[in-house]
């Protein structure tokens, strides 16, 4: 009988990111902040990038206080030259870039027929254009070095939509398709590209909903847990997709939505 084949990975360390360099854009608050802290705690050196440099610095201070490796940088995701410059500086300083993550998004909630062209272009510029800028700049580096993990935040809105969410939902579906296309193009070069699909998460982006008790509760009840998620509950997905634990995962979306996309309606029928 042939001897068993041992897996070429240590299960005790498969989620570890020691020696990895990660660029996380939007790390100054919310889901990005939690992701940055989790990556650093698992051994990565995290470059926390944000349009608001003070917020990035605050995240870095938190990570540093826990004894982990990090640095902050100002980055405008909608400016290709800003993204290219930051990526180039990381490679020059550290020699490689292993993880690239785009988390920022904006949302203008209003009926499609009331959207102005400026509003439409603004949402696309941040959510799609910004993600494109990071995926392209970081993807080129990773393709050349023959390894890397690219992650961007999509949403449950990539699958389901409600009134006032047409444009935002379109960008989230588009983000997923960008990643799927990139996964097909860069897989042979050792680069993976995946999306994370949050449900309702308490972040600055959802602040308007929090101010409306009826609206907030309706969303909570749409989940199987009857509550909103917290940013830290996305951190595990970030680490998983960044690490060797997901070495055979690419071109897909990992929903972290409290069962939102598995529920049919908001009424529980008598059984």
Q: Higher confidence at residue 52 or residue 3?
A: 52
| Average pLDDT of the segment spanning 89-95 | 98
pLDDT of residue 271: 54
What is the 8-class DSSP label of residue 24? E
Res. 206 pLDDT band, cuts 50 70 90: confident
What is the 8-class DSSP label of residue 226? S
Burial letters 216-255, b for 16+ CB under 10 A, else e: beebeebbeeeebbebebbbebbbbbbbbbbeeebbbbbb
Q: CA–CA distance from 36 to each of 12, 18, 188, 234, 237 (Å)?
A: 22, 14, 28, 11, 12
**How many Cβ atoms are within 10 Å of 164's Cβ, its own excluded?**
16
pLDDT of residue 36: 98
pLDDT of residue 234: 98
Tens digits of per-residue pLDDT, 20-29? 999 999 999 9
Domains by residue range for the chain, with CATH: 21-256 (3.40.50.720)
Cα gap 170→251, rounded to integer Å: 18
**In the predicted structure, residue 139 carries a pLDDT above the cut 60:** yes
Res. 79 pLDDT band, cuts 50 70 90: very high
| Average pLDDT of the segment spanning 165-184 | 97
Task: Tell me the average pLDDT of the chain.
Answer: 94
The model's pTM is 0.93
Tens digits of per-residue pLDDT, 208-250? 888 899 999 999 999 999 999 999 999 999 999 999 999 999 9
pLDDT of residue 203: 87
| Average pLDDT of the segment spanning 173-183 | 98
Catalytic residues: 168
pLDDT of residue 270: 61
pLDDT of residue 33: 97
């Amino acid at each position: 009988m042939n001897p068993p084949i041992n897996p070429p990975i240590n299960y005790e360390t498969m989620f570890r990111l020691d020696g990895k360099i990660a660029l996380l854009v939007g790390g100054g608050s919310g889901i990005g902040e939690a992701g940055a802290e989790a990556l650093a705690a698992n051994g990565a050196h995290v470059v926390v990038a944000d349009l608001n440099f003070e917020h990035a610095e605050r995240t870095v201070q938190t990570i540093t206080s826990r004894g982990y490796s990090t640095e902050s940088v100002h980055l405008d995701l909608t400016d290709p030259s800003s993204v290219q410059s930051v990526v180039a500086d990381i490679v020059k300083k550290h020699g490689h870039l292993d993880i690239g993550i785009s988390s920022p998004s904006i949302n203008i909630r209003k009926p499609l027929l009331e959207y102005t062209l400026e509003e439409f272009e603004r949402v696309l510029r941040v959510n799609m254009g910004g993600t494109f800028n990071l995926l392209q700049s970081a993807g080129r580096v990773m393709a050349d070095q023959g390894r890397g993990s690219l992650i961007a935040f999509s949403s449950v809105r990539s699958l389901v939509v409600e009134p006032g969410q047409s444009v935002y939902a379109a960008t989230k579906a588009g983000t997923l398709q960008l990643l799927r296309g990139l996964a097909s193009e860069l897989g042979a070069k050792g680069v993976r590209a995946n999306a994370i699909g949050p449900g309702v998460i308490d972040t600055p982006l959802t602040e308007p909903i929090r101010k409306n008790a009826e609206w907030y509760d309706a969303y909570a009840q749409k989940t199987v847990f009857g509550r909103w998620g917290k940013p830290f509950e996305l951190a595990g997905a970030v680490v998983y997709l960044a690490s060797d634990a997901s070495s055979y995962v690419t071109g897909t979306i990992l929903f972290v939505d409290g069962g939102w996309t598995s529920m049919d309606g908001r009424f529980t029928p008598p059984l």
